[in-house]
Amino acid sequence: MTNLVRDLMHPGVLSCSPDSSLGQVARLLAQNHVHCLFIFDGQPLPVGVITDYDVLAGEWLSGDAESLAVMRKMTAGELMSTPVEMVDADVSAEDAAARMRKDNIRRLLVVDDDRPVGVISVSDFIADLASKTPIKREKVSDVMSDAYLVCRDKTPLSATLRAMSDTGWRSVVVVNAHGKPLGIFSGLDLIACCDQDQGLDSMLVTEVMHPPLKIGMDASLQDAAKMMIESHHHRILVIDPADTDSMPLGVISSFDIVSEMARPDSIWQAIE
């Protein structure tokens, strides 16, 4: 039987009000290990959504003390994105995955009779994939990204944010002078800085990055999915097991796995 969105979604909707501060948004995102909050303003459906990437954009604007003071007064309503992407609970999971892949959407608000009942995200598809034991398993090397955004360990955080904003990349691999991977910086790392007094111009990317997860290119997608779920990470460095300190071979992200799942000929969509 074909899975429906309601079968894979996580029930409930984490939310905040339009006048919530970015500090409050940051705490909710970090405490719940999520990448977005839906914004409600007294109506049955949300008026917008704010993501860790939106918080990142707000933080980027705070390059000096004056800008930081302005940023701290910003609210979720001022940085939220609209409209909210929604999907009916009875839509097939395959159709939802195909839509997310086509429109580059990481999550959809799930509605039932025009009432929000949950959220389906990239992580939910990964969790479903990890719970299955298919006959065939593709390798990390088949879906990983060979190109990725990289910076040196001495790179200022402000420069890293500008590079991410200019390119649209959601993460940066941090390496030393010899190419050894030291960490990964993403939007969720940034929200931990929102309540700090020091400005971005005085911080290096190494101060906020997180240690990298590593996997070999011959590992299965199930191995990669399991690693992401257990660590609450959305991307893993693909390395050469014979030389783990060398420049990474690539990066595999949760979206890479969902894209593979959405292919009509993928194992995940095969009818048994």
pLDDT in tens, 164-199: 888 878 889 999 999 999 999 987 777 655 555 555
Question: Where in the chain do CATH 3.10.580.10 domains reside?
Answer: 5-131, 140-262
pLDDT single digits (tens) 261-271: 666 665 545 44
- Bigger pLDDT: 76 vs 188: 76
State the sign of the Cα–Cα–Cα–Cα dihedral 83, 89, 90, 91. positive
pLDDT single digits (tens) 99-110: 998 888 889 999
- The gap from C-alpha 219 to its chain's centroid, in whole angstroms, comes to 22
Note whether 98 and 266 are within 8 A (CB): no
Give the whole-number percent of the chain exceeding pLDDT 90: 39
Instruction: Give the fold, CATH level 3, of 5-131.
Output: CBS-domain (3.10.580)
Lowest mean pLDDT among 4-8, 80-84, 129-133, 154-158: 129-133
CATH class of 140-262: alpha beta
Q: Does residue 230 register a pLDDT over 90? A: no
The model's pTM:
0.56
Give the whole-number percent of the chain exceeding pLDDT 70: 81
